[in-house]
Amino acid sequence: MEKSNREKKIKKSRLMLVGARGQLGCDCQEIFSPLFEVESFSSDDLDLTRPDDVGVAVLSCRPEVIINCAAHTRVDDCETDSKKAHLINAESPACLAAAAKGCGALLVQVSTDYVFAGERELPQGYVESDTVAPVSVYGRSKLAGEEAVAASGCAYLIVRTSWLYGINGHNFLKTMLRLVLNEPEKERKVVADQFGCLTWSRSLAQQLLSLVESGKRGLYHAVAEGSANWFQVASCFLELMEVEHHLVPCTTAAYPTPARRPANSILLNQKLKNDGLLLMRPWQDDLELFVSRHRDRLLKEAAKV
Ligand SMILES: NC(=O)c1ccc[n+]([C@@H]2O[C@H](COP(=O)([O-])OP(=O)(O)OC[C@H]3O[C@@H](n4cnc5c(N)ncnc54)[C@H](OP(=O)(O)O)[C@@H]3O)[C@@H](O)[C@H]2O)c1
């Protein structure tokens, strides 16, 4: 009897982690596991192009917290397959929210800076109460996901982040490293007129944990402090990696992509600051730590591809 009471005391809350194989999902797995009993879902376990499957998965998991890190994140591909983008980024979060409400779970829905049009004058950024006006299918689908979660009546945290990188999965920094290592002499154009907040997925996972533990609810921005353009972040990363490179700044117009991207998607952590919950550090500090931890693995991976 005494033993089962003791066991009860240390019983961890159940957490359903959706999108567990992505950049943020992998870091959430590591950060939340010591404190929660995490059940992880990849697209093999739960395919979000089939939102009808979501309710059953939640029922079988019976979580107290659901973290949704899954998304159709290929911004350009979303333009040509808006149906898929909508299923994964909007309808599935709506079903997660309905199921969360049904079982009394907290839903953490991760969203994006691309819900903003990006026309604000630099260096100003966007706070949580600013008007949204996405300019891409990806942005519109993610916004529809936010709206469905907020309207569902479940307990929720919607956390907008931006320009994510991590050691797991694919990202802009890894792509730049691979390109530069393959052809060190070649001049590479990098867009210098889009500004945002480069954010380490591990820091975001830590911020999500502190938000969940705080008992706060609602909409938050969570990005690294400070802002830069793609050229600046690529240059800073390659210098920290001590890799020879020849980057040249270029305009968005010189590097056309299927999806429009906001010129200024700088987010401000206003609510985290107001609530005394801010853990996010300057982006340069995080990038330095990331490189010092992962330099060898990054070089090995980039050489392999
Ligand atoms: N990456 C960024 O720069 C960025 C910027 C702003 C906001 N965000 C948001 O931050 C969150 C995390 O982003 P991330 O960079 O960690 O994403 P990521 O590395 O691209 O991972 C996304 C995950 O979504 C899952 N997924 C995709 N299609 C799915 C489907 N049909 N069914 C189930 N799962 C599916 C994938 O699962 P499998 O691997 O199992 O197939 C993948 O692991 C997302 O909500 C994203 O919108 C990202």
Q: What are the CA-CA distances from residue 222 to residues 121, 152, 161, 248 (Å)?
A: 21, 22, 5, 30
Mean pLDDT, the chain, rounded, equals 96
Spans of all domains in the chain: 11-304
Nearest CA owner, ligand 1 atom 43: 22
8 Å CB contact between 138 and 90? no
Cβ neighbours of residue 291 closer than 8 Å, sequence gap 6 or more: 237, 240, 241, 298
Per-residue pLDDT reduced to its tens digit, 223-275: 999 999 999 999 999 999 999 999 999 999 998 999 999 999 999 999 999 99
Q: How large is the average pLDDT for residues 154-164?
A: 98
21: CA distance to ligand 1 center in Å? 8
In whole angstroms, what is the distance from residue 205 CA to residue 211 CA? 10
Give the pLDDT score at 305: 67
**pLDDT given for residue 34 in this prediction:** 97
In the predicted model, is pLDDT for residue 11 greater than 90?
no
Comparison of pLDDT for 11 and 236, the residue scoring more: 236
Q: Which residue has the higher pLDDT, 38 or 11?
A: 38
Q: Is 110's pLDDT higher than 60? A: yes
User: For residue 255, what pLDDT is reported?
Assistant: 86
Ligand 1 atom closest to residue 84's alpha carbon, by position in its atom list: 31
Q: What is the pLDDT of residues 53-84, one digit of tens each?
A: 999 999 999 999 999 999 999 999 999 999 99
Asked if residue 7 has pLDDT above 90, the reply is no
Distance of CA 5 from the midpoint of ligand 1 (Å): 39
pLDDT of 9 > 90? The answer is no
The domain over range 11-304 is classified in CATH as 1.20.1250.20: no
Residue with CA at minimum distance from ligand 1 atom 39? 21
Catalytic residue chosen out of the listed positions 138, 156, 165, 220: 138
**How far is the centre of ligand 1, averaged over its atoms, from the C-alpha of 194 (Å)?**
22
Q: What's the whole-number mean pLDDT along residues 96-113?
A: 98
Determine the pLDDT at residue 222.
99
Q: Which of 5, 263, 293 is nearest to 120 (CA)?
A: 263
Mean pLDDT for the stretch of residues 195-223 = 98
Flag whether pLDDT at 2 surpasses 60.
no
User: Could you tell which of 17, 54, 58, 69 is best to mutate to test the pocket of ligand 1, judged by most ligand atoms within 8 Å of the CB?
Assistant: 69
Q: What is the pLDDT of residue 1?
A: 45
Is 165 one of the catalytic residues?
no
- pLDDT for the residue numbered 161: 98
